[in-house]
Amino acid sequence: MSPTGNAPATPSAKKATVSSAYIDFTDTATAGWAQQYLPDLIAGEAEVFGNRTISGFLGQVGSEEAMASDQVIWTEQGRLHVSAAGTLVASTGVVTSTGHGVRVGDNVVLNRTGVGTLRCHVTAITANTYTVLPYTQAALNTSGAGAITFTNGAVTGFVFGSEYAKGTAGRTEYLEPQHASLSNKPFIAKEKYTVSGSDASSIGWVEVSSEDGTNGYLWYLKAASEARVRFTDYAEMMCIESEKKQNSSTVGVDGSEGLFAAIEDRGHVLSGAFIDASAADDLASLKLILKRFDAEGAIEENMMFLNREASISIDTMLAAQNGYGASGTSYGVFNNSEDMALNLGFSGFRRGSYDFYKSDWKYLNDGALYGAMAEGDAVSGVIAPAGMSSVYDQGLGKNLKRPFLHVRYRASETENRKMKTWTTGSVAGNTSSDLDALEMNMLTERCLVVQGANNFMKLV
C-alpha cells in the first residue's frame, strides 16, 4: 500500500488499514520520521534468544562446599580383583604387565583375543612380568586337551584363586589394596564491567528483564546484570571445560581439571552414538554403554544430558520398540490416545538393570556454544551417575558421602570467594577513587571434584 502522493498521512480514529493513515518511514521526500504523529518506542527488549544463561547443570547433579587450601585431595578405591592383562611370549609363558599384582601360586584365566581361553598356574614373577603354565597342555604354544594354541601378543585375564602342593610353604608375597589418590586445584576467574559517570547520568530508559531477576529502567544496570549472568555462566563452563597444565605447556597458569577432562582421562568416551543412526544402531550403542558400565561400578540410576540430535534419536529409538500397527504408533503405553497429540518425548527409560533419566542440556544446544559446531565435532551428551559416592577425604581424615560431582570454592571466616563482587570509582555513591566511572569487579575461585569418573561417559 502506498500513500496518496507525497501528502502527510492522516491519523485514523480507529485501527484501520486505509491508505490515508499509512506512513512511509522510507519516504525521505516527506521526512516520514519528522511527521507529527510518531510511533511509540517499545520500551521492553525483545527476548529473541529466550533464557540465554546455560548454568544450572552442576546444580542438578552436584553440590557446593567450601575449602580453605590451595588444592583438594581425595582417594578412590581400586578394583578388588586382580587383572592379568599384558603382552605374552607364548613359547616361554612370560606375560609382561607393569604393576600386575599377580603372585606365585595364583591361578589365572588367560585369554588371547580371537584364539581362546586357557586356565594357567603362575610359577614365577618379577616386578613387571609373571610366568604361567597351562593346565591342559605342555606350553601355551602347543595344543593339548583344549586344542588351543596361543601366539605372541596381547592377552587379558584375571586371577581366580591359588593352588599349592602338599607340604609346601605359603605365600611369599602379599597383595596391597589398590587405590588412587587424586587432586585438583581451583582456578581464579575474574570479570569487570565499567560505565562512565556521564553515561550513568544519561536518560536512555529501557525497560529490562534479565535472567537473574533484574527488573528496571536504567540501562547501565541492565548491562551490569548481564555481565554478572555471563560471569556466572563462565564459572560453570570453567568447571566443565578446564584443563590441567601439562609439562610441555608454556601457559602461565596452572589450570584445573574440568568435567570433560576428567571423563577423557578416567572415564569413557563413546563416538558416534545417537547421531544420524537407525533405531537398531542406537540400540547397539546403548548395549555398548551398558557393557562399559557393567565393567565399572554398575550404578543403577544415571542421568543423560544431551543435545537435541541425541535426545530425538533416543526418543525415536524408544518409540520404535513399541510400534502399534503399520504406523508404528503406540496408544496407552505412553499415556497417548488417538484423540490427543502424540507425545514422542521420553524423560526416562530402563534397559537391563539400568535406569536412565534424559534431559536436554542447553550448553550443548546454544548457537553461540556447541550448538554452532557440526555433528561429529560437537559434544552430543554426558551420562553421569545419580546419587552419592563414599570417598576418603584426606583433609578431614574420614570417609564421607558426597555427590559424584561437587564444586569446591575458597572461603574462610573473613573471605568468601565463591562469587565475590565489589564496586570502585566515584559514581553511584562510590568514593573509592577519583575515577569518573563505576567499575563492578567480579571474582570466583573454585574447582570441580569428579569422583568415580569411571562411571561417567562423554558422547561425541
User: Span 328-350, mean pLDDT?
Assistant: 59
Distance CA 270, CA 272 (A): 7
Secondary structure E strands in 206-309: 208-209, 215-216, 268-270, 301-306
pLDDT value for 393: 55
Q: Which CATH number fits domain 86-165: 2.40.10, 3.40.50, 2.40.128, 2.60.470?
A: 2.40.10
pLDDT in tens, 153-204: 999 999 999 999 999 888 888 877 777 788 999 999 999 888 787 766 643 4
pLDDT in tens, 97-145: 988 889 999 999 999 988 899 999 999 999 899 999 999 999 999 877 6
Secondary structure E strands in 238-277: 268-270
Domain extents in the chain: 1-39, 50-78+177-460, 86-165
Rounded (5°) CA angle 209-423-67: 95
Distance CA 305, CA 379 (A): 11
Of 53 and 286, the structure prediction assigns the larger pLDDT to 286
Pairing of strands 187-196, 106-112: unpaired
pLDDT in tens, 4-43: 444 555 555 555 545 555 544 445 454 444 444 444 444 4
pLDDT value for 343: 57
Best CA proximity match to 267, nearest among 72, 54, 76: 76
Cell of 460: 561425541
Distance CA 324, CA 326 (A): 7
- The reply to whether the predicted model has a pTM over 0.75 is no
